Amino acid sequence: MTEERSVEKLDRQVVSYAATHTTGELRQWMRRFIARVEPDEVEKRYEDIVAERSVTIVHDEDGTGSLYAENLPSYVLAGIDQRLDHAAKAVTDDDRTIAQRRADFFVDALDHIDPTTNPHGRRISRSGSWFRRPRSRAWTISRRSAPTATGSSPPTRSVIWL
C-alpha cells in the first residue's frame, strides 16, 4: 500500500479480523481490502506483472522437455484449463490418461496456430490490450462477431465474475 491513510485504515481493522480468522482467510481479506482502498495500485501491479508474461521451454537430456507460461491472467489460464479438460474427457475410446490427452490436445492446439489471430478468434493487438483488466470486479472480454451484411461487426462481451 502506498497511501498513509490506507495503512491507518488497515491498522484499525486488521487485528480484530485476524484474531477470529485463519491465515488463509486473512490473506483473502487483505487482497480484498487493498483492492478496495487502493484500486489504482492493484491495477498498476497487475499490469506490471502481465507485462512480464513469458513462455519458457526447457529441454531435458532424455529428449523431453517442459513448457512454462508465466504471469498470464488467471482468466486466460482458467479458460485453457477448461478447454483442455473438456476435450480430454470427451475422448473415451482411448488408452491415454486424461493428463496425457490434455497434453496432446495442448500440443495439437499450438501446432495449428494462425499467426494473425489469438485463440479467442480476435485479432492480435500489438499492445496486448486483451490482457488489460477492467476496473470492475469482473473480467470483460470483448470480441467482434462475424461481419454483418453492412460490413460492421457488433462487439460481443463475455463477463467472468470474480
- Which pLDDT score is estimated for 71? 95
| β-pair type (54-59, 65-70) | antiparallel
Whether 10 is in a domain gets the answer: yes
Whether 86 is in a domain gets the answer: no
For residue 17, the SS3 value is: helix
Whether 42 is in a domain gets the answer: no
Whether 46 is in a domain gets the answer: no
What's the half-sphere exposure (Cβ side, CA atoms, 13 Å) at 51?
Answer: 7
Whether 26 is in a domain gets the answer: yes
- Which pLDDT score is estimated for 122? 59
Whether 156 is in a domain gets the answer: yes
* Average of per-residue pLDDT across 11-16: 88
pLDDT, tens digit, 9 for 90 and up, residues 118-135: 656 555 544 444 455 544
pLDDT, tens digit, 9 for 90 and up, residues 19-73: 999 999 999 999 998 889 888 998 999 999 999 999 999 999 999 999 999 999 9
- Which pLDDT score is estimated for 120? 60
Per the listing, cell 486488521 goes with 14
Domain count of the fold of the chain: 2
| Domain of 22, in residue numbers | 4-37
Q: Using CA of residue 67, residue 52, residue 143, residue 133, what is the dihedral sign? A: positive
Confidence of residue 87 (pLDDT cuts 50, 70, 90): very high
Whether 15 is in a domain gets the answer: yes
- Which pLDDT score is estimated for 147? 46
Does residue 161 or residue 1 have the better pLDDT?
1
CA 24 – CA 17 distance, rounded (Å) = 12
CA 138 – CA 157 distance, rounded (Å) = 12
Q: Locate 130 and state its grid cell.
A: 486483451
**In sequence order, which residues have a C-beta less than 8 Å from that of residue 71 and are 6 or more positions away?**
49, 50, 52, 53, 54
Element (H, E) at 81: helix 74-90
Confidence of residue 146 (pLDDT cuts 50, 70, 90): very low
* Measured CA distances, 105 to 32, 114, 144 (Å): 36, 16, 26
Whether 141 is in a domain gets the answer: yes
DSSP character for 22? -
